[in-house]
Chain A
């Protein structure tokens, strides 16, 4: 049981590469905290710093208020599961599980009891006398987990524990890790690049990029209100579509229509998630299965027509996945239907509209999630709509979220 606090953690390698930059995080007692990010974002380095395999160049790691800087990993009483599992190949499963206890000088009797207990939790009893080389990937993974829980550590640190497993096994083990965490209630830090693992497992999570924490919060917060363009684009599959919104007074003009945008008088970048786009007139379904967005546009009634962006688009490609269909569409040039729209018109401030940029020359593409029963076919022109409150606005220069952030 432990609260892990990271304050101003930085890590610069001897060759000058900066792996982690000024990371402040608090991992609460008993929670499962996920560090999510693309490869090379510094998440594994951060984990190594927490466990003590690497020393930070700046900042402090503390556990329950006690600074851990300079403390040997073995003395931190944390258990780590490596991506490669790092099972000792020359020892049987039993010896592998017993190794940390043997090192700690636990008497043989208790050692056996605790190994048996861990083996029972992870259903390893049958495998105790086997050698790692004879085990399957999933079994090795379990041995690695077993070696972690056998010590009753203050925290578990899992470094991409599922990435060497095939998809089916990964789903199984993911559920098993969730169960294990609920059963043991031990503080867990889980590193992954897989957003599904992050969203399903995390009590709270942090998204990292280039060594910096982009956003920390519950999966719902991070998914629902991404703090910047990177987080918005990284979470979600298929990913959010981004488009340019040109400023026109309080409004911005998008290829999709016109919407009220927060922020000062500059252009904005607008993101739309596939699940927020729906066929025009199918409002009930779309809002029923959309995620609740804390604090976003609560005042507006979802059925308020003025808060709707309606647009026409040509379906280029349909991906039917059984439970849902993703339509890759090309947005058609908007006409006067986008009421009061400035698309293709002069700006009100009298300045001529800038020549259509890259987004203007190439038609705007978008991914929409449709119901699997939708009769839409490839090549069809369909009317789609997005509720304005579902749009995400970002500063085009800094990428920071605008408005309710």
Chain B
């Protein structure tokens, strides 16, 4: 079959972008995959040799990895679900705001504009047993970052505080797509506020919810800086990215570290595919005309 000229021209025009993407994305990923198949420890560079899937076996049979997976999932599931609910509430408020719409939107975005490390430090200081202001609040006086569950709580709170605005903005975009006439029609049809929200607004927002969930889940699964700053992975809070960091950059074990990275890549991709599959089937085909 002949390729039409326009198609060829199209590919030609795309080529520079494709090459650039290949150089900065595909190559490093493939290089990491290759590295992960070698025993390669920078402390013993001469001992480099091909070991097949041995590194993966080591990672997947280690308790450290699985504990990290569990910690990552706890942080991700909790923070993303709380963010979804809070973000939806914020989006509804912003959507309905009649006065000061711009001010509200700007104000809501402030936490998202703060650098993660700074936010994480701020929260760590707030809960510091000697200097933190939280201690002044009476019943909250406890060594927060010295106990596993409360350390988790603070990490998750930091995440929620920081990224709920992002979620809210994505959901707000989705809310704006819900046709006003459909809501008015539902009102005439006798649907209560709650019925209108759950039977009309929410289903019509599914694409936006999907995108928001996807972005935030992928993001949360790779959590690093907040934990690094607040606990440095102590008390069982170590997420998978920190395991990769320690193996790769602290222990300088390139082979094993690459295997961890590849596994994280697989985990994140798997989660993304699951979300798209899980919600994609129920997408409305088209918006209102």
Q: Mark A129-150, 1 if CB is under 8 A from B, else 0.
A: 0011110010010000001000
Please indicate the chain A residues that have their CB under 8 angstroms from the CB of B191 in the complex. 74, 99, 103
Partner-contacting stretch, out of B114-122, B181-189, B219-227: B181-189
Q: Are B184 and A82 in contact (CB under 8 A)?
A: yes
CB within 8 Å: A-B pair count = 79
Q: Which residue of B lies closest to A80 (CB)?
A: B188
Given contacts A89-B204, A90-B204, contact A84 B188 (CB under 8 A): no
- Assess the B286–A86 pair: CB atoms within 8 A: no
- Chain A interface residue count, Cβ-Cβ cutoff 8 angstroms: 32
Please give, as numbers and ranges, the residues of chain B lying within 8 Å of A232 by CB-CB distance.
none
> In whole angstroms, how far apart are the Cα atoms of A80 and B191 in the complex?
14
Complex interface: chain A residues within 8 A of B185 (CB): 80, 82, 86, 88, 147
- B181 and A89 within 8 A (CB): no
B126 within 8 A of A: no
In the assembly, what is the distance between CA of A80 and CA of B203, in Å? 22
B203: nearest residue on chain A (CB-CB)? A90
Report chain B residues within 8 Å CB of A82: 181, 184-185
- In the complex, what residue of chain A is closest to B287 when comparing beta carbons? A89
Q: Is A79 an interface residue (CB 8 A)?
A: yes
Residue of B nearest to A135 (CB): B289
Give chain A residues whose Cβ lies under 8 Å from the Cβ of B190: 73-75, 100, 103-104
Does B189 lie within 8 Å of A90, measured CB to CB?
no
Within the complex, the shortest CB–CB distance from A110 to chain B, in Å, comes to 16
B residues less than 8 Å from A201 (CB atoms): none
Q: How many residues of B contact A (CB 8 A)?
A: 24
Say if the beta carbon of A169 comes within 8 Å of chain B.
no
Does A78 reach chain B (CB closer than 8 Å)?
yes
Question: Quick check: is A308 within 8 A (CB to CB) of the other chain?
Answer: no
Query: Which A residues are in CB contact (< 8 Å) with B204?
Result: 89-90
- Judged by a CB distance under 8 angstroms, whether B200 is at the interface is yes
The reply to whether B195 and A103 form a contact with Cβ atoms under 8 Å apart is yes
Q: How far is the CB of B26 from chain A (nearest CB, A)?
A: 37
CB-contacts of B157-213 with A (<8 A): 179, 181-182, 184-192, 195, 199-200, 203-204, 206
| A291 in the interface (beta carbon within 8 A) | no
Q: Answer yes or no: A53 CB below 8 A from chain B CBs.
A: yes
Interface status of B285 (Cβ within 8 A of chain A): yes
Q: Does residue A51 face the partner (Cβ distance < 8 Å to B)?
A: yes
Chain B residue numbers with a CB within 8 Å of A137 are 289
Contacts of A78 in B (CB 8 A): 188
A84 touches B189 (CB 8 A): no
**Quick one: closest B residue to A131, CB to CB?**
B285
A104–B289 CA distance with the chains assembled, in angstroms:
27
B280: interface (CB < 8 Å): no
In the complex where A73-B187, A147-B189 touch, is A86 in contact with B285 (Cβ < 8 A)?
no
CB neighbours (8 Å) of B184 from chain A are 53, 80, 82, 86
Contact A88 B187 (CB under 8 A): no
Q: How far is the CA of A389 from the CA of B189 in the complex (A)?
A: 51
Complex alpha-carbon distance, A83 and B182, angstroms: 11
State the Cβ distance, B183 to closest chain A Cβ, in Å. Answer: 9
CB-defined contacts of B206 to chain A, threshold 8 Å:
90
Assembled-state Cα–Cα distance A52/B187 (Å): 9
Which A residues lie within 8 Å of B195 (CB)? 103
Q: Is there contact, CB below 8 Å, between A73 and B285?
A: no
**Chain A residues near B192 (CB, 8 Å)?**
74
- The docked-state distance in angstroms from the alpha carbon of A53 to that of B189 is 11
Decide: A84 and B288 in contact? CB cutoff 8 A: yes
Contact, CB under 8 Å: B188 / A73: yes
B residues 100-120 in Cβ contact with A at 8 Å:
none
Check A84 against B179 for contact (C-beta < 8 Å). Answer: yes
Across the interface, name the chain B residue whose C-beta is closest to A91.
B203
Within 8 A of A (CB), among B274-289: 284-289
Contact A86 B203 (CB under 8 A): no
User: Are B200 and A88 neighbours in the complex by a CB distance under 8 Å?
Assistant: yes
Partner of A100, one of B189, B284, B286: B189
Q: A180 to chain B: closest CB distance in Å? A: 18
Residues of B contacting A73 with CB < 8 Å? 187-188, 190
Could you say which residues of chain A place their CB within 8 Å of the CB of B289?
84, 137, 140, 164
Q: What are the nearest 9 A-B pairs in CB distance?
A: A74-B190, A86-B181, A133-B286, A86-B185, A100-B189, A90-B284, A133-B285, A90-B203, A80-B188
12 A-B pairs whose Cβ atoms sit less than 8 Å apart in the complex? A52-B188, A73-B190, A74-B191, A75-B190, A82-B181, A84-B179, A84-B181, A85-B181, A99-B189, A99-B191, A140-B289, A147-B189
Residues of B within 8 A of A (CB): 179, 181-182, 184-192, 195, 199-200, 203-204, 206, 284-289
Beyond contacts A74-B189, A131-B284: 12 other A-B pairs, Cβ-Cβ < 8 A, are: A52-B188, A73-B187, A80-B188, A84-B288, A87-B182, A88-B186, A89-B204, A90-B204, A103-B190, A103-B195, A132-B286, A151-B189
